[in-house]
């Protein structure tokens, strides 16, 4: 299961739960606790920024910045650079080497994603 599939599965679970528990408003759109359903982007952002909310859906998202050494190793392991030397963030940025590691855990499965 990749990152997109996890977000899709959790999002479908959230949407089903929301519509099962929401009530129609005057406008006809369902609301729950005075709020409408979250868009996919809002849902993902809330999962990233609200640990209690994401854990409610069995999802844990951790995001951290990579240090230069980790970025160099990532590039070297993928043969994007052929030697390891003094490399600065600016050089890595020019080669679009990721700056973040995102770890997602869902249903006791963990995947790592670099962005």
Say if CB 18 and CB 43 are below 8 A apart.
no
DSSP string for residues in 54-75: HHHTTEEEEEEEPPHHHHHHHH
Q: Tell me the three state secondary structure of residue 78.
A: coil
In our burial notation (b when 16+ CB lie closer than 10 A, e otherwise), range 60-94 reads ebeeeebeeebbbebbeeeeebeeeeebeeebbee
The most distant pair of C-alpha atoms in the chain lies apart, rounded to whole Å, by: 64
Residue 72 CA, chain-centre distance (Å), reads 23
Residue 66 has a pLDDT of 95
Alpha-carbon span 26 to 1, nearest angstrom: 40
Q: What is the DSSP letter of 23?
A: E
Ordered by start, the domain boundaries in the chain are 3-114
Report mean pLDDT in 10-residue bins for the chain, 115 residues: 83 84 69 75 84 88 91 88 71 89 89 90
Q: pLDDT value at position 70?
A: 92
Which residues share a beta bridge with 105?
Answer: 60, 110
pTM recorded for the entire structure: 0.65
């Amino acid at each position: 299961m990749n990152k997109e599939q996890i977000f899709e599965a959790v999002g479908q679970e959230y949407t089903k739960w929301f519509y099962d528990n929401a009530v129609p408003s005057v406008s006809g759109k369902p609301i729950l606790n005075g709020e409408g359903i979250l868009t996919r982007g809002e849902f993902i952002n809330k999962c990233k920024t609200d640990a209690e909310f994401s854990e409610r859906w069995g999802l844990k998202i951790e995001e951290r910045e990579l240090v230069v050494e980790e970025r160099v190793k990532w590039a070297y392991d993928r043969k994007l650079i052929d030697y390891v030397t003094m490399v600065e963030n600016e050089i890595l940025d020019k080669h679009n080497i990721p700056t973040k590691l995102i770890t997602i855990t869902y249903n006791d499965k963990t995947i790592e994603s670099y962005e």
